[in-house]
Amino acid sequence: MSDRQKRIAALKQAAKNRILILDGGWGAMIQRKGLEEADFRGDRFADYQGHMKGNNDVLCLTRPEVVIDLHDTFYAAGADISETNTFSSTVIAQADYDLGAQEVIDINREGARLARASADAWTAKEPDKPRFVAGSIGPLNKMLSMSPDVNDPGARAVTFEDVYDAYRMQIEALNEGGVDMYLIETITDTLNCKAALKAIMDFEAEGMEALPIWISGTITDRSGRTLSGQTVEAFWNSVRHAKPFAVGLNCALGADLMRPHIATLARITDTLVAAYPNAGLPNAFGEYEETPEATSAMLGEWAQSGLVNILGGCCGATPEHIAAIANAAQGAAPREISQRPRAMRLSGLEPFEVA
């Protein structure tokens, strides 16, 4: 058994024993560092002609010590799982900074290696609480399901093949860097997600070791739908074929507004349920003011109610939030996975079931 296979076995065992804790929001934590343009450029991009500040993922190459420190901080706060700093590391997203394939491959590979180094160091210190790495595969700034032109509903900025190829490049580099699982997150367009899933499944069909897949959708507002229009149940029906290790929701909503949608997933899914909401909704200045005590009280209730298997935080969730969430979930039994009666379940924007 390889080291990675041992880690995956340990991950699955840990998920049976307790509610696992994911890290928090990276954006706010990077902003706290007060980094300037020169920090984002580093030596590699010193002569770069464009604007690099705000491209958080490139810090994997230019300020790796900052990335390592954040992994360490979240693990110290109680996280079992930390995400790679690769949320926007596709050639499609990085085109905004005029970065190409080689830079994207390097960001993903190094992002995974940095997270792996931190996780392994913490596991060595605390072998009874192994740490794991989730390869962050974020949304794109272009959607397959929706037109960028209100006057032409059929127009698309990218093709399925474009999105597939972009995700395939990211997935291969994350795998090489040593992630324990793939986390396709903040999904606003299910078709984009399906391109990422196909990229993973094709990669594994070619002989690569299968890794757990975690799928995390985003309900964009009080409508209870993704940006591409699906309800939670329709979204699950669309991605269930991938047999994910976990499915859940993150971002856009705070815990209070997310709860009914997590309850729906807990009722209908036959896999682990994960949730990492924002620390409330942003104020007029884009700041998240919900306290660790408030967030953890709500997530602790989810844990005690048997709704979840994995908890964490998204935008605005600091290490203090993660520590409070870990404390609130401690001792709560993970949600029991149940099987629904067999039926043909389809989806468009709404679910459709034939018993």
**What is Dmax (Cα atoms) for the chain?**
62
Closest CA to 298 of 336, 254, 263: 254
Task: Round to the nearest angstrom and report the end-to-end CA distance of the chain.
Answer: 41
pLDDT recorded at residue 324: 98
Cα 226 vs. chain centroid, distance in angstroms? 16
pLDDT recorded at residue 352: 87
pLDDT in 10s for each residue of the chain, 355 residues: 899 999 999 999 999 999 999 999 999 899 999 999 999 999 999 999 999 999 999 999 999 999 999 999 999 999 999 999 999 999 999 999 999 999 999 999 999 999 999 999 999 999 999 999 999 999 999 999 998 888 998 999 999 999 999 999 999 999 999 999 999 999 999 999 999 999 999 999 998 889 999 999 999 888 899 999 999 999 999 999 999 999 999 999 999 999 999 999 999 999 999 999 999 999 988 889 999 999 999 999 999 999 999 999 999 999 999 999 999 999 999 999 988 888 899 898 999 888 7
193 labelled as ligand-binding? Answer: no
Q: Which domains does the chain have, with CATH numbers?
A: 3-354 (3.20.20.330)
pLDDT recorded at residue 106: 98
Return the residue matching tokens 């949320």: 87
pLDDT recorded at residue 227: 93
Return the residue matching tokens 């291969």: 172
314 labelled as ligand-binding? Answer: yes
pLDDT recorded at residue 318: 97
pLDDT recorded at residue 338: 86
- Other beta carbons within 10 angstroms of residue 152's beta carbon come to 9
pLDDT recorded at residue 131: 98
pLDDT recorded at residue 223: 87
315 labelled as ligand-binding? Answer: yes
**Burial class (CB within 10 angstroms; exposed 0-12, middle 13-18, buried 19+) of 126:** exposed
